[in-house]
Amino acid sequence: MSIRGRLIVCPTPIGNLEDITLRVLSALREADVVACEDTRHTRVLLERYGVSAKLVSYHEHNERARAAQLVEQMQKGDVVALVSDAGTPLVSDPGFVLVRACVAAGLAVEVLPGPSAALSALVASALPADVWRFVGYLPRKRGELTTLLRAAETIVGFESPNRVAAALAVLASIDAERPVAVCRELTKIHEEVVRGTAGELAARYEGEPPRGEVVLVIGGAQPGEPELAPALSALRKLVAAGAKPRPASSVVASLTGVRPNALYRALMEEEPAG
């Protein structure tokens, strides 16, 4: 594309600097200005590949003012390359305001393919990828998170390491058997993908949070999946009345539709350590 006065959205590596594409390097060399979250961070990448470019900061705190300036430059014929610190701009990173401003001004927007932590995690999770939802960072409020986790499609979301166990505990309280993948430090030296059920992984990370950047991939809820809490309450009453947990779980499951293993596991997790 040889049109002047345009925006080129350039994905950058999410960890391994070798994951940059030849097209992105070409665009960065061609651009009159490179808009980036942190000029120091981007400078490291450019120096690695011998790219000399004019850098300007473009982040959440100056996004609107800077977007107006960049649009004005593009209207005069400049080519602006947009990058974030890692991955594809706009995906939980700044850039939306600039792209919208370019479209409103009738400027061309060229989007180059490249690295994405969300897509890498989705593929590595081995969970269904035909229908999925990217939610950015998972909600902090328990009620909002609980509602989200009842979605029927696969969920992909970022989470801070010290909140991973709490998020998994909420999911385990809904369905301890739900499949989950904790994807850590993707493309980096210590990359790790841990797959298991919500209950298993909640227990695993409860006392030892994962380190580094984390993407959670959560299998979708089964259609019409019943509420665990009322069924568990009924199971508690039966056990308190003298019923054995395993047979009682089967009885309650037959009446409520909740899986017996999910009920039994939830009950056992409530038992104090001996």
CATH number, domain containing residue 179: 3.30.950.10
**CA–CA distances in Å: residue 244 to residues 90, 173, 236:** 54, 21, 10
Condensed to tens digits (0 to 9), the pLDDT of residues 97-112 reads 999 999 999 999 999 9
In this prediction, residue 273 carries a pLDDT of 38
Helices (H), 58-137: 63-75, 96-104, 117-125
Indicate the number of domains in the chain: 3
Condensed to tens digits (0 to 9), the pLDDT of residues 145-178 reads 988 998 889 999 999 999 999 999 999 998 999 9
In this prediction, residue 224 carries a pLDDT of 58
Last residue of a domain, one of 197, 218, 239: 218
The one-letter amino acid at 63:
E
Question: Which residues are bridge partners to 110 per DSSP?
Answer: 8
Q: How many CB atoms lie within 10 A of CB 49?
A: 12
pTM for the whole structure: 0.77
Cβ pair 234, 203 in contact under 8 A: no
- Residues 265, 213, single domain; the answer is no
Condensed to tens digits (0 to 9), the pLDDT of residues 168-211 reads 999 999 899 999 999 999 999 999 999 999 999 999 999 899 99
Cβ pair 209, 184 in contact under 8 A: no
- Residues 130, 168, single domain; the answer is yes
Enclosing H/E stretch for 203: helix 198-206
- Residues 233, 169, single domain; the answer is no
Last residue of a domain, one of 62, 89, 111: 111
Mapped onto helix, strand or coil, the DSSP state of residue 146 is helix
Q: Does residue 14 surpass a pLDDT of 60?
A: yes
Cβ pair 32, 78 in contact under 8 A: yes
In this prediction, residue 81 carries a pLDDT of 98
Tokens of 97: 């305001």
- Give the lowest-confidence range in 10-14, 157-161, 224-228: 224-228
- Residues 135, 208, single domain; the answer is yes
Residue 192: inside a domain: yes
Q: What is the DSSP string of 22-42?
A: HHHHHHHHH-SEEEES-HHHH
Residue carrying structure tokens 């981007």: 42
- Domain limits at 92? 6-111
- Residue 99 belongs to a domain with what CATH number? 3.40.1010.10
Q: Give the pLDDT mean for 50-79.
A: 96
In this prediction, residue 274 carries a pLDDT of 36
Enclosing H/E stretch for 185: none
Closest to 35 in 3D by CA, of 16, 53, 13: 53
Last residue of a domain, one of 68, 85, 111: 111
Residue 131: inside a domain: yes
Cβ pair 157, 136 in contact under 8 A: yes
- Residues 175, 263, single domain; the answer is no
More confident residue, 107 or 261: 107
In this prediction, residue 174 carries a pLDDT of 87
Per-residue pLDDT band at 40 (split at 50, 70, 90): very high
What is the DSSP pairing of strand 154-159 with strand 214-218?
antiparallel
